[in-house]
Homo-oligomer: A and B are copies of this chain.
Amino acid sequence: MNNLKHYLSQVEEIFNHEVFLAEPRELYEPIDYTLRLGGKRIRPTLMLAANAMFGGSADCVRDAALGIETFHNFTLLHDDLMDRSPLRRGKPTVYTKWGDNTAILSGDTMYALAWRYFLRQPTPHLQQILNCFNETAIEVCEGQQKDMNFETLGLAKVNLDAYLDMIRQKTAVLLACALKIGALYAGAPKKEVDNLWNFGIHLGLAFQMQDDLLDGYGDTAVFGKKTGQDIRDNKISFLPIMALQLGDETRKNELLNLFATKDNMDEEEKVRRVMDIYNTVDLHSTVEKNINDEFQTAKKIFDSIDVPEDNKTPLRELMETLDGRKK
């Protein structure tokens, strides 16, 4: 069995060989730019590794891997526009470089291109695969809306369950979908397809919680971006929600006030005061424990999948890489 590195480089090769430019240039240049920005390529890698786990070969999922990553990058493109994020992977986002209209239309086109990739990948399980992809896409949209709703609701009105439901839809289902589709292309049995889906959900929850944790506690040099951005943006993440559960009444109120501030406070002072509260309630270790619990649940489901241990190597490696990730 090949190791994780093999699948990562296979994904890179797939992207390097694909032509994204076409006419009209004004539409496809931002698409090419977005798809060549790189990133971790986790979703296509999950798909290839899940496919190989059940005896598939890279050819079985080449186009579908392009499809899932193209869809993911479409959602990032539109999210960046909606969130007015100036940078993505350290580079200017499409709307800052080409304007809002290009971001809207190039994003729409990427969504259609994702479908083109899925439709050109031969499989006897087409309907099931497309249903899975499409229902996932709807959930991702719903998750993004819920995330935007949180901003309007404010920290005081968002509880842990609502937050977990939101990140399940916004982040976890697409990881689960990548795994499930990879397995379906290889003709995996239903029971194991379901296991992979559930494994992906817990992996995705852990992944998103890590993202939230890194925003507060990442090492800027490794993380690649300034920490504390969620705090500056009053962004409701796992950190403030958990801190509210851990703090006493005084800290709770202070945190709620800090997350309700608009432009009337020095940003770095605000980050410092929020981090002080986080540290006082020992937030880091609580959040790490929660992340670890999700990883353990994911691992238990993964262990139960009935294929030769050797076939599991790449996904196990990937899980371990994610578990210890610093960026």
Contacts and interface: CB of A to CB of B under 8 A. Distances in A.
Interface in A107-150: 107-109, 111-113, 115-116, 119, 126-127, 130-131, 134-135, 137-138, 141-142, 144-146, 148-149
Tell which of A81, A141, A148 has the most Cβ of chain B within 10 Å: A141
Interface string A139-182: 00110111011000000000000000000000000000000000
A23 B142 CA distance: 8
Given A24-B142, A27-B141, A105-B82, A115 B112 contact: no
Contact of A144 (B81, B105, B119, B149): B105
Contacts of A319: none
Interface string A1-45: 000000000000000000000011011000000000000000000
B141 A112 contact: yes
Contacts of A130: 115, 119, 130
A76 interface: no
Contact of A108 (B78, B101, B126, B149): B78
Nearest to A145: B27
Nearest to A122: B127
A141 B109 contact: yes
A135 B24 CA distance: 15
A104 interface: yes
Taking residues whose C-beta sits less than 8 angstroms from the other chain, chain A's interface range is 35 or more
A111 B74 CA distance: 13
Q: Which interface residue of A23, A24, A127, A137 has the most chain B CB atoms within 10 A?
A: A24
Contacts of A78: 104-105, 108
6 contacts: A27-B142, A105-B141, A108-B111, A109-B141, A109-B142, A111-B111
The 8 closest A-B pairs by CB, nearest first: A27-B145, A109-B141, A82-B101, A112-B137, A115-B134, A112-B138, A24-B145, A108-B141
